[in-house]
Amino acid sequence: MAIPIKNSDDIVKMRVAGKLAAEVLEIIEPHVVPGVSTGELDRLCHEHITVHQHAISASLGYHGYPKSVCISVNEVVCHGIPSDEKILKDGDIINIDVTVIKDGFHGDTSKMFIVGKPTILGERLCRITRESLYLAIKMVKPGIRLRTLGKAIQQFVEAENFSVVREYCGHGIGEGFHEEPQVLHYDADDGGVILQPGMAFTIEPMVNAGDYRIRTMKDGWTVKTKDRSLSAQYEHTIVVTDNGCEIMTLRSDDTLPTVITHPA
């Protein structure tokens, strides 16, 4: 597989796109409250991206997707379509997935929001999912097999009696929305990929409270857990550096540094 290697100019542009994507998740947080519709949240995100950031939503129109962000509530694993009919209620967990294009480069990120008062299970699922992402990011450095990231995520998640979705994965990113390599979140063949400086990709584990199996709804987009258990996801865009990685989509609520380095 041909994995694009980003040069210094590419990385500068990816930093900008990543920062804008992260900003969307920060500005929407105060609006994620009981009684709001996911359609209203989408409109607020769209306005911020287009009017304030003078950027483009990569999701809007992508293979026919009708909205600017994906909003996945409770048992929805990914690709939930925002609507005025879907009203958030106390205890819901929701994922908002944002991809922004600026100057031809993509920034892709998502996080979980807990609506109102959390449930014990909802809070724990979100926390473990976020920790699994952090675990993988902290491992990234040149010379390691890509596969080791997915293996570590799977072991961590399953030790908590949760499961990792198999059908969706992280992906290379840059001028393309989805580039090589595919970044699996469980232990599986990676085609022998060894991480190198300049590789840019997302890590975005989808973790279910119950079984890992999923089903796609009739709209062709919305993916739910087959057993109707809760699902959570966190995502960051990263680039491999000479001795670790840089997180392009870091937010103020993240507890990781922007640049992670490993001793030689």
What's at 157, amino acid-wise?
V
CA–CA separation, 69 and 81 (whole Å): 8
What's at 219, amino acid-wise?
D
> Does the annotation list 26 as a binding residue?
no
> Does the annotation list 54 as a binding residue?
no
> Does the annotation list 108 as a binding residue?
yes
Count H helices and E strands in the chain, helices first. 4, 16
> Does the annotation list 204 as a binding residue?
yes
> Does the annotation list 97 as a binding residue?
yes
* Bridge partners of residue 246, in order along the sequence: 239, 259
For the record, the structure tokens of 145 come out as 């097999």
Cα distances from 38 to residues 58, 91, 166, 226, 242, in angstroms, run: 18, 15, 26, 22, 41
Annotated binding-site positions: 79, 97, 108, 171, 178, 204, 235
Annotated binding-site positions for a divalent metal cation: 97, 108, 171, 204, 235
Annotated binding-site positions for substrate: 79, 178
